[in-house]
């Protein structure tokens, strides 16, 4: 296993080289630069951050990037934040957006939630890459650290030598709702993609402010996981996001783009449910009355009844063709892409410690659903997407990974306790702790002491070293290679060409295990494998779920 101090030294060397190149290419102001530290002046006013307790980084928490989307601004495109003159304290994480918290079984959050956090190394180095993290959660859940401390960006900033930004955006029916009764003269207000517009607004904030934190506004990487990855992919095809980023990381892509007809049907169903629940008279309300009524409602009621969180192909923010544009190449933001999935994406779906589908079902059913739905995720979230992107003549290189840490290896071993390597393994979102440098925090913090313990500490350290190095290399240059890491070839559509690499750690000696994975999964191969290995009711249930999953994507 290569030493962590050596990785940091080499990473810093690459960072210095990258900054030197940036200094040669950028036109900097001749005015003397203000020393970097916990006091920063943004375009909206001065802020005061703090030293991180987790890393040699300065952190700035809860910086407003847009006006609070409340009252008349509910279901409108984000508006500029009001400037301030007194120093704003940015020392505590912001309130997260309204949502239902699954593990605590309650609604929580505040609509005044359009905030971001900035983390940067505790040095005077400038022109660092900017890495913007867009959280997942089905576009219904998520935050920048209160509920998910693995999102803390302090270690990634220090170890990757980058400016790291983590962003909150509107969720659920507050973030995506297409309803003509809410429409006016502003085409952005009418798009329905309010969460998407929030993220775009945060990237505009980055362009206006990253230099004040020592970041290079000409080297911005957007990264997200699950629904956050879907948000990244929609920014790639959005004209509204042009010029705001230069590289993209897509982890465990989940979600799709709805037509305006589908989005309107979902919105109308919400209205019908609200009318029935609230006992509102059946007579038709005018558009103005309906809009005022909806804006008066408690967010919990809206989120409790609504099933509206899919991105909308409105033709203004998101093209009506949605992801179909990836076939033609007729989209604006062709950047280097790093993407991939986890080996056991769906096993948490059937695991009793997770979402516990089939609580009374046989173990064979749990295992089959976990395996074949994970394979389906690999098709849509990685292999199919990589094949389409790599097939475009003017597309930069695409790098693909399979995250395997935690999954049982070919010898039946796993770094996870008991039989969780089989029943959970490398499940959905489990890679985040490692790529963020937070290998001491399980993605679900209540389970940290169960799954992260002394016996797998060295394995966790190695996995995090590998991922932070690859991801930060990619943020610097659009190529994950370097730092004496195993070579990661870009995806090729040639039959014998390189495909993905697996990211894992040797169970025997905790050394990096990064190996080529030449297999390409398709819908056809997943169905064929299920039919060859399953039968009876279990096969029928797996086929039903595969039909639904591939139909959604």
pLDDT in tens, 444-470: 999 999 999 999 999 999 999 999 999
At 91 the pLDDT is 98
At 436 the pLDDT is 98
Average pLDDT, stretch 233-240?
Answer: 98
Can you list the domains of the chain with their CATH numbers?
34-335 (3.40.50.1820), 345-553 (no CATH)
At 222 the pLDDT is 99
Token pair in block for residue 103: 């593990």
Burial class (CB in 10 A: 0-12, 13-18, 19+), 242: exposed
Average pLDDT, stretch 97-117?
Answer: 94
Residue pLDDT, tens place only, 172-216: 999 999 999 999 999 999 999 999 999 999 999 999 999 999 999
Residue with the bigger pLDDT between 347 and 272: it is 347
Residue pLDDT, tens place only, 395-421: 999 999 999 999 999 999 999 999 999
At 23 the pLDDT is 38
Q: Which residues contact 522 (CB under 8 A, 6 or more apart)?
A: 379, 383, 384
At 310 the pLDDT is 87
0.95 surpassed by pTM: no
Residue pLDDT, tens place only, 420-444: 999 999 999 999 999 999 999 999 9
Token pair in block for residue 190: 């009418």
3-state SS, residue 505: strand
Average pLDDT, stretch 124-145?
Answer: 97
At 286 the pLDDT is 87
Residue pLDDT, tens place only, 82-106: 999 999 999 999 999 999 998 888 9
Helices (H), 184-259: 194-209, 227-236
Q: Which of 300, 317, 285 is nearest to 181 (CA)?
A: 285
Q: Is the pLDDT score of 24 beyond 80?
A: no
Average pLDDT, stretch 308-328?
Answer: 93
Q: Report the distance separating Cα 51 and Cα 24, nearest Å.
A: 31
Average pLDDT, stretch 533-550?
Answer: 96
């Amino acid at each position: 296993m290569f030493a962590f101090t050596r990785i940091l030294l080499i990473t810093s060397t690459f960072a210095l080289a990258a900054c030197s190149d940036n200094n040669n290419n950028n036109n900097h102001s001749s005015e003397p630069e203000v020393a970097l530290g916990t006091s920063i002046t943004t375009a909206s006013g001065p802020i005061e951050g703090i030293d991180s307790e987790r890393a040699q980084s300065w952190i700035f928490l809860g910086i407003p990037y847009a006006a609070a989307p409340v009252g008349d601004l509910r279901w409108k495109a984000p508006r500029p934040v009001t400037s301030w003159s007194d120093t704003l304290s940015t020392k505590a994480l912001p309130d997260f957006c309204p949502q239902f918290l699954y593990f605590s079984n309650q609604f929580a959050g505040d609509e005044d939630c359009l905030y971001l956090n900035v983390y940067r190394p505790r040095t005077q180095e400038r022109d660092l890459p900017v890495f913007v993290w867009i959280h997942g959660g089905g576009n219904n859940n998520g935050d920048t650290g209160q509920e998910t401390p693995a999102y803390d960006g302090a270690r990634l900033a220090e170890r990757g030598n980058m400016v790291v930004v983590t962003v909150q955006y509107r969720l659920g029916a507050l973030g995506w709702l297409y309803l003509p009764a809410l429409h006016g003269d502003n085409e952005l207000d009418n798009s329905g993609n309010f969460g998407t517009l929030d993220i775009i607004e945060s990237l505009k904030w980055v362009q206006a402010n990253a230099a004040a934190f020592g970041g290079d506004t000409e080297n911005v990487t957007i990264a997200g996981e699950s629904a956050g990855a879907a948000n990244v992919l929609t920014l790639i095809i959005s004209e509204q996001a042009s010029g705001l980023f230069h590289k993209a990381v897509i982890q465990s892509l989940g979600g799709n783009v709805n037509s305006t007809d589908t989005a309107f049907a979902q919105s109308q169903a919400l209205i019908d449910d609200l009318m029935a629940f609230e006992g509102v008279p059946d007579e038709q309300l005018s558009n103005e009355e309906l809009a005022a009524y909806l804006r008066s409602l408690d967010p919990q009621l809206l989120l409790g009844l609504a099933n509206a969180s899919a991105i909308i192909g409105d033709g203004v923010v998101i093209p009506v063709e949605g992801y179909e544009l990836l076939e033609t190449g007729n989209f604006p933001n062709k950047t280097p892409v790093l993407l991939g999935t986890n080996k056991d994406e769906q096993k948490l779906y059937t695991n009793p410690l997770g979402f516990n589908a089939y609580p009374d079902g046989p173990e064979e059913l749990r295992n089959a659903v976990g395996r074949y739905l994970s394979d389906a995720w690999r098709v849509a979230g990685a292999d199919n997407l990589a094949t389409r992107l790599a097939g475009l003549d003017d597309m930069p290189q695409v790098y693909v990974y399979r995250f395997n840490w935690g999954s049982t290896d070919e010898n039946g071993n796993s770094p996870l306790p008991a039989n969780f390597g089989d029943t959970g393994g490398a499940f959905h979102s489990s890679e985040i702790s490692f790529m963020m440098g937070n290998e001491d925090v399980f993605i679900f913090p209540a389970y940290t002491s169960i799954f992260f313990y002394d016996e797998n500490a060295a394995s966790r350290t190695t996995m995090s070293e590998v991922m932070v190095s690859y991801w930060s290399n990619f943020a610097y240059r659009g190529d994950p290679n370097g730092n004496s890491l195993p070579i990661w070839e870009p995806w090729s559509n040639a039959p014998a060409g390189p495909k993905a690499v697996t990211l894992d750690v040797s169970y025997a000696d905790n050394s990096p295990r990064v190996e080529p994975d030449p297999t390409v999964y398709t819908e056809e191969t997943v169905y064929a494998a299920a039919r060859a290995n399953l039968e009876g009711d279990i096969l029928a249930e797996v086929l039903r779920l595969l039909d639904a999953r591939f139909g959604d994507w």
